[in-house]
């Protein structure tokens, strides 16, 4: 059974009023983000460099809504290869301080900066010379005073009317945005890219889209080949048996010299009257589009869509390694 609301509905607003409230919330939060942008200074750069130079992990601590946002920040850091975890301040005072090691960096966020739950962590960090990045909107708070790097975030107007301005909205968005700024700065500083991200994120739709094309391609042994001198009948039979809608043309030295698709055959039929006299070398595409075996699935799809084709040759060290059909890619992404 679900929990009961502690209030009753007394204001039957129309849809337009509801949408207007949403727009006011967003605009208020945008103004808060603008203040955050103007507040960034050398302390932010110091925080990024401290994390980047650390040999340990990033330990994120907060209370209330800040704790929830720090969970997301910690998760984002881990996803870009910066080891991170969250530590509950209450648990810390009951033995979990042992999870903090020398070389770690603490990110502690508290808008008031005076949450008593943080005292045990702050004292432990100072005693063991653990670097503290303190985030608060209170310059005179104990958190800012005890932090090695002090990030003072601006006080902002919370979204909603006077009866609702105690709900963390704009301030929460600012903390979340600050975490994203730290993560993206670190990722950029370390030349983090999609390929590195895929190694840490192999599952889900994102992981699949970043998979190397070599994991999806048709292997060389299963590709239909024809020779330059092959007749149209031989070509059609190879394409039909291969069930890929194409064949790769090779010369007597078994070097790739062209590519023939169903489309090439159709164009040949329309262009020539004596089509049965034509050889593979007469109708093939001499410069088929290719992609390297380490390219990602998303890159293959982008090339296919841009060039309006359905097949790419896959090369490894400039030699044919396989072939990828759009059907292979789409089937892989759907499973």
- pLDDT by residue (tens digit) across 252-310? 888 899 999 988 888 888 888 888 888 999 999 898 999 999 999 999 999 999 999 88
Task: State both tokens at 30.
Answer: 């945008």
Mean pLDDT of the chain: 91
What contacts 117, CB < 8 A, 6 or more positions away? 63, 89, 90, 93
Q: What is the DSSP string of 141-173?
A: SHHHHH-SEEEEPPP-PPSS-TTTTTS-SHHHH
State the Cα–Cα distance between residues 58 and 253, nearest whole angstrom: 57
Q: What is the pLDDT of residue 117?
A: 87
Which residues of the chain fall short of a pLDDT of 50? Answer: 1
Q: What is the pLDDT of residue 8?
A: 59
- Ranges for all domains in the chain classified under CATH 3.10.580.10: 213-334
Q: Regarding beta strands 84-86 and 105-109, do their DSSP bridges make them parallel or antiparallel, or are they unpaired?
A: unpaired
CB 189 within 8 A of CB 81: no
DSSP state, residue 273: S
Say which CATH topology domain 17-192 has: Rossmann fold (3.40.50)
For the chain, how many helices (H) and strands (E)?
14, 12
Task: State both tokens at 105.
Answer: 């960096």
Classify residue 95 as left (phi > 0), alpha (psi -120 to 50) or beta. Answer: left
Task: State both tokens at 130.
Answer: 């653990």
Q: What is the pLDDT of residue 284?
A: 92
Say which CATH topology domain 213-334 has: CBS-domain (3.10.580)
Q: What is the pLDDT of residue 181?
A: 98
CB 315 within 8 A of CB 291: yes
Q: What is the pLDDT of residue 151?
A: 97
Q: What is the pLDDT of residue 33?
A: 98
- Ranges for all domains in the chain classified under CATH 3.40.50.10490: 17-192
CB 60 within 8 A of CB 179: no
């Amino acid at each position: 059974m679900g929990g009961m609301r502690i209030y009753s509905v007394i204001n039957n607003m129309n849809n337009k009023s509801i949408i207007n409230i949403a727009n006011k919330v967003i605009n208020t939060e945008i103004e808060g983000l603008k203040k955050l942008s103007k507040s960034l200074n050398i302390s932010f750069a110091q925080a990024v460099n401290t994390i980047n130079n650390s040999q340990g992990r990033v330990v994120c601590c907060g209370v209330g809504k800040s704790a929830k946002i720090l969970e997301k920040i910690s998760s984002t850091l881990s996803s870009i290869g910066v080891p991170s975890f969250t530590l509950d301040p209450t648990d810390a005072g009951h033995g979990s301080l042992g999870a903090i090691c020398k070389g770690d960096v603490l990110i502690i966020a508290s808008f008031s900066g005076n949450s008593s739950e943080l005292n045990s962590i702050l004292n432990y960090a100072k005693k063991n010379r653990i670097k503290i990045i303190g985030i608060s909107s209170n310059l005179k708070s104990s958190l800012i005073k005890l932090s090695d790097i002090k990030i003072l975030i601006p006080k902002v107007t919370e979204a909603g009317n006077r009866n609702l301005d105690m709900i963390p909205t704009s301030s929460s968005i600012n903390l979340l945005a600050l975490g994203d700024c730290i993560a993206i700065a670190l990722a950029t500083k370390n030349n983090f890219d999609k390929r590195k991200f895929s190694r840490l994120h192999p599952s889900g739709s994102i992981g699949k889209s970043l998979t190397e094309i070599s994991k999806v391609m048709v292997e060389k042994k299963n590709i239909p080949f024809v020779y330059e001198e092959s007749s149209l009948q031989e070509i059609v039979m190879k394409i039909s048996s291969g069930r890929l809608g194409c064949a790769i043309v090779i010369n007597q030295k078994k070097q790739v010299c062209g590519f023939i698709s169903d489309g090439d055959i159709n164009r040949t039929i329309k262009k020539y009257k004596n089509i049965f006299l034509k050889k593979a070398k007469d109708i093939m595409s001499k410069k088929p589009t290719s992609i390297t075996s380490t390219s990602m699935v998303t890159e293959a799809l982008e090339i296919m869509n841009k060039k309006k084709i359905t097949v790419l040759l896959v090369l490894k060290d400039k030699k044919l390694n396989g072939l990828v059909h759009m059907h292979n890619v789409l089937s892989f992404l759907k499973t």
